[in-house]
Amino acid sequence: MLDYKKLFDLSGKAAVVIGAGSGIGRASAEAIGSLGAQVICADADLDGAEAAAAGIVAAGGRAEAYRINAAEGAEIEALAQHALRSLGKVDIAVSTPALNIRKLIVDYTEEEYDRVMNLNMKGAFNFFRSFGRPMMKQGFGSIVACSSMRAVTIEPGLGVYAASKAGIAQLVKAFAAEMGPYGVRVNAVMPSIIETRLTAPLKERADIFKTYAGHTVLNRWGQPSEVGSAVAFLASDAASYISGSSLSVDGGWTAIDGPPTGLTSTRPSA
């Protein structure tokens, strides 16, 4: 019988996680590190990256911190080259940074549009190129990006952010098709309402926090660890036949049209 535990084991793997300083990125780095991979924790917040790396090391893993501006293509390329020198290869590459400026489209400035797109969309583009090239030469690898449920569902004020996340989902499909012949898999996770630094302002408003929770079939917000676990799965050999997919980690938000109605189930009588 196949040893399924080994499919999830990342021992001997070399991983890079961009955005590892907090939230989903940190949870992804921790999950990947806990499964045995050596991790480079990269983030614009070096203190956060160092804390993430220290946590992995304290748990018996191997990790190092690296400072990066994920909106700069040259810095992403430098990280990829550093990873190759330091680790000798890159089996797993994950990128999670994102920026959202919540405004109606008519109120957006060009500078704000560029800030969102440069980090979210162009950042993903540069991430794919910089880590895809060495993986093509290796003949193996798993790349995981972070899209969002906003790629497929929207509300006023999120148009630009949603467009960037939909773009990432399409890039994932295209890049998966291009990388498949080289043995490289490309996927994304699509989280919904996760308690992170990005969503902290919403949590401060109890009415919105409760309303958003009610849009999920589980009636709650998600935790970064729940997305990090999905990232680790996509990175592992357990997902060896998954490529070009955007995995919903959304508590069922996109499974229904609006919030649940509150109808109760009726059990059949004996």
Which residues are known catalytic residues?
161
Q: 39 near 62, Cβ under 8 Å?
A: yes
**Burial degree of 207 (CB within 10 A; 0-12, 13-18, 19+):** exposed
Strand partners, 189: 146, 247
User: In the numeric block, which tokens belong to residue 215?
Assistant: 């849009």
d(CA 137, CA 90): 11
Give which of 227, 216, 221, 155 is closest to 193, Cα–Cα: 221
**232/229 Cα distance (integer angstroms):** 5
Listing DSSP states for 175-236 in one string gives HHHHHGGGTEEEEEEEE-SB-STTTHHHHTSHHHHHHHHHTSTTSS-B-HHHHHHHHHHHHS
Tokens of 189: 């996770």
Residues 6+ apart with CB under 8 A from 262: none
